[in-house]
Amino acid sequence: MYRLSSNATLFLKIFLPVFWITIMAILTMVVWLVEPSKFGGLNMTSLRWAASFTLVVGVVSFFVLTWPLKRVETDGEKVYVSNYFRTAFYRWDQDVEALSEFRFLFFRIGVIELNGIGSFGRKMRFVISPRLMKKFREENPGVLPEAKG
């Protein structure tokens, strides 16, 4: 079994959002619940709304950017896609229409497009491990659809 996704996927999908949201939620609650005198005369209205806005923007950002990431493995015939709670598999030759790649910040993101709608939708995103992807392509030429992008 070959893993194509990076180890960073678990960190980006679960650990970072949980840690950041927990810290920001606690900070926001403190700003709203603690007496203003404890903050040395700061304008509490602005601080409260800034903390609340930062929390909401962060949650939405994680929901849009990191929650859709998947773990991807393959045995050469099938691709196994997991969201760390359940796993689905698809055949490279029958179910997968295309594999595209693009750069986002420091990461290479892969998108597997299916011919129809699968368990996780028609398009599934994952963080590519360049080293593992290269190794798989060298050992199994012609299995993966040609990358677009």
Surface-to-core class of residue 139, CB atoms within 10 Å of its CB (0-12 exposed, 13-18 middle, 19+ buried): exposed
Mean of the per-residue pLDDT values of the chain: 89
Q: Does 149 score more than 80 pLDDT?
A: no
Place of tokens 């679960």: 14
Q: Does 10 score more than 60 pLDDT?
A: yes
Across 70-81, average pLDDT: 91
- Residues 126-137 pLDDT 10s: 999 989 988 888
Q: Which residue has the higher pLDDT, 145 or 83?
A: 83
Across 71-79, average pLDDT: 90
Q: What are phi and psi of 77, to 5 degrees?
A: -100, -45
d(CA 27, CA 20): 11
Q: Name, in order, each residue with C-beta under 8 angstroms of 85's C-beta and a sequence gap of 6 or more.
A: none
Q: How confident is the model at residue 148 (pLDDT cuts 50, 70, 90)?
A: low
- Residues 20-55 pLDDT 10s: 999 999 999 999 998 877 777 777 888 899 999 999
Across 79-105, average pLDDT: 90
Q: Does 80 score more than 90 pLDDT?
A: yes
d(CA 144, CA 56): 39
Q: Which residue has the higher pLDDT, 88 or 35?
A: 88
Across 101-117, average pLDDT: 90
